[in-house]
Amino acid sequence: MEPGALRETLGRWLRLLTRPSQEPAPVPRALGADDLPATGWDAVRRARSPQRPRAGVYLDAYFTVRAAIGGDRCGGTDPDGMLCGFGERQGRTVAYAAQTGAATRPAGYRTATRLIRLADRLGIPVLTLVDTPGAANDAEAERQGAGAAIAELFGALATARTPVTTLLIGEGGSGGALALAAPGRTWATPDSYFSVIAPESAAAILKRPPEEVEATAGQLRIGPQDLAELGVVRTDLP
């Protein structure tokens, strides 16, 4: 940081971190398509589209100013999988933890846990954006404690006293996505799906041929309208 920017940076952080609020963060408006997907596979296809708006677009539209935090305080970072920080929305401070559409790594989950616990101590509401095909599951992720990192985030979100608002903006793959979903305060965009397992993997487990993947997606009931009917996501807007 340039010495001349210290005053401005410190002032920004002081403004953001000293404005507690008991009101939940407003739900961001959907930035993609307005119409609902026709089938479960259509929901998957739309969620995986490279043209769909990602977390950065949502954050830019939602906040007038934001300041990022990085690192899990264990020596790890996940800048490609998780964006965390504090921002200003209509004169209020909101903390955010947003998945970027990539597989989230353990450091990303630990950074989100760090953010939620800090926001909880400061009385600042939290916004989470869910968008991941699932947690990273390579050998390095296992060595870095992927399971424990996800479990810790589950605990932090479930016990947070500050209100948490979640918007599912793309892929909601397995526990890697569920860990960021606020109980009772999760919404979904028309460009999203939420599933305990990807349709391809579900078909493989059921020993179905590849041509049955699309039908399997429908049977999993993973589209946004299915999630609303099942009570997994909300459709009312405060």
Q: What would the pLDDT profile of 173-195 be if each residue is shown by its tens digit?
A: 988 999 999 989 999 999 999 99
Q: Considering only CA atoms, which of 167, 170, 156 is closest in space to residue 24?
A: 167
Question: What token pair was written down for 195?
Answer: 């599933």
Q: How many CA atoms lie within 13 A of 128 on its CB side?
A: 32
CA 152 to chain centre: 15
What pLDDT digit, counting tens, does each position of 111-161 carry?
A: 999 999 999 999 999 999 999 999 999 999 999 999 999 999 999 999 999
> Does 29 map to a domain?
no
Residue 88 falls in which region: left (phi positive, over 0), alpha (psi -120 to 50) or beta: beta
Q: pTM of the predicted model, to two decimals?
A: 0.94
What is the CATH classification number for the domain harbouring 60? 3.90.226.10
> Does 127 map to a domain?
yes
Average pLDDT of the segment spanning 88-106:
96
Given 3-state DSSP classes, what are the helix, strand and coil percentages for the chain, each rounded to the nearest 5?
40, 20, 40
Number of domains composing the chain: 1
What pLDDT digit, counting tens, does each position of 222-233 carry?
A: 999 999 999 999
> Does 9 map to a domain?
no
Q: Are residues 163 and 183 in contact, defined by beta-carbon separation less than 8 angstroms?
A: no
> Does 167 map to a domain?
yes
Question: What token pair was written down for 28?
Answer: 């961001």
> Does 22 map to a domain?
no
Cα angle at 29 between 28 and 35, to 5 degrees? 145
Average pLDDT of the segment spanning 13-29:
94
Q: Which residues of 34-73 are buried (b: 16+ CB within 10 A; e: fewer)?
A: eeebeebbbbbebbeeeebbbbeebbeebbeebeeeeebe
Distance in angstroms (rounded) separating the CA atoms of residues 155 and 216 = 31
Domain of 180 in residue numbering reads as 42-230
The rounded percent of the chain whose pLDDT value lies above 70 is 99
**Per-residue confidence at 67, pLDDT binned at 50, 70, 90?**
very high
> Does 96 map to a domain?
yes
Q: What pLDDT, on a 0 to 100 scale, did the predictor assign at position 114? A: 97
> Does 176 map to a domain?
yes
> Does 25 map to a domain?
no
